[in-house]
Amino acid sequence: MIRTTAKKIYIALIFVFLYAPIATLMVLSFNASRTRAKWGGFTTKWYFSLFENREIMQALWNTLLIAFISSFIAVIIGTVACIAINNMPKRSRAVLMGVTNIPMLNADIVTGISLMLLFISLGFKFGLGTILLAHITFNIPYVILCVMPRMKQISPSTFEAALDLGASPVRAFFKVVFPDIMPGVLSGFLMAFTMSLDDFIITHFTKGAGVDTLSTKIYTEVKKGIKPEMYALSTIIFITVLLLLFLVNKAPKEKS
């Protein structure tokens, strides 16, 4: 009895540790004072002025656009790569998986500067395009990580059975393989989207002047002080995701 209580307290403490900053930011979003150092009374005005702040809105748009397009492309390349890797001889599979793990295990700063050097020497113009390429690159491993275990579970005979029953390979894939790996593809997409959204370091090195995502915008604001609208926006995003997760979990499960 005492042990289970102690365990619960321990878990609770960790969650406080992880969520205290988040709660702080939410509180700050209602702070009438412009500095985060002191409490100037309750206000909701930042939630309105937010939508008139063109810079923040532009950064939000860039962030969501990059996150969506980069995860979408990463999901396509990653899923196709999984099919190919799964059928590869052991040796080449190990090599390719090793290369796949590099962006995940390597330091973000090294990945960031290496891509920056590449884009410079290729003469690319730094902007949304370069950020997008960089994000696709670090998102693909997360997709593969999510899809691969699902892929391994599928017995090759299901695919062969579909061929045997007269389906074309493409049709067989979409009819029997794809539904099975769908949960992996979906969580790969969500993971990639989240990673892209939260990334700062790689974006920092691959963005061009005048193009900002929320992360880089916040970073430039650190020195002069974060605009309270930023807290308001973060709170909105966080609460939205929280509600979505809650709804998804409440929705009847198709199969457990």
Partner 1 sequence: MKNSKSSQRLLSSPYIAWAVIFIIVPLCMVFYYGLTDKTGAFTFENIAAIMSAEHAKALWLSLGLSLISTVICFFIAYPLAMILANMNVNQHSFIVLIFILPMWMNFLLRTLAWQTLLEKTGVINNVLSFLHLPSLNIINTPYAIVLGMVYNFLPFMVLPLYNSLVKIDPNVINAAKDLGANNVQTFFKITFPLSIPGIISGITMVFIPALTTFVISNLLGGSKILLIGNVIEESFTQAGNWHLGSGLSIVLMIFIIVNMVASAIFDKDGEGSAL
Scanning residues 166 to 195, which ones bind partner 1 (CB under 8 A)?
Answer: 169, 190-191, 194-195
Q: Which residue has the tokens 């290729």?
A: 122
> What is the pattern of x (binds partner 1, CB under 8 A) and - over residues 8-47?
--xx--xx-xxxxxx-xx--x-------xx----------
Q: How far apart are CA 144 and CA 74, in angstroms?
A: 9
Binding positions for partner 1, 108-137, rule CB under 8 A: 108-111, 113-118, 121, 133-134, 136-137
| Structure tokens that stand for 90 in this block | 């052991």
Contacts by residues 42-48 (CB-CB < 8 Å, ≥ 24 positions apart): 46/228, 46/229, 46/231, 46/232, 47/232, 47/236
- Pairwise CA distance, residues 171 & 151, whole Å: 17
Going 134 to 139 to 140 to 142, the CA torsion angle's sign is positive
Residues 193-232 that bind partner 1 (CB under 8 A): 194-195, 197-198, 200-201, 204-205, 214-215, 218-219, 222, 226, 230-231
Q: How far is the CB of 163 from partner 1 (least distance, A)?
A: 11
Closest separation between CB of residue 171 and partner 1, Å? 14
Q: How far is the CB of 14 from partner 1 (least distance, A)?
A: 6
Neighbours of 55 (CB within 10 A): 12
Residues 55-84, interacting with partner 1 (CB under 8 A): 77-78, 80-81, 83-84
Least spacing, CB of residue 255 vs partner 1, in Å = 14
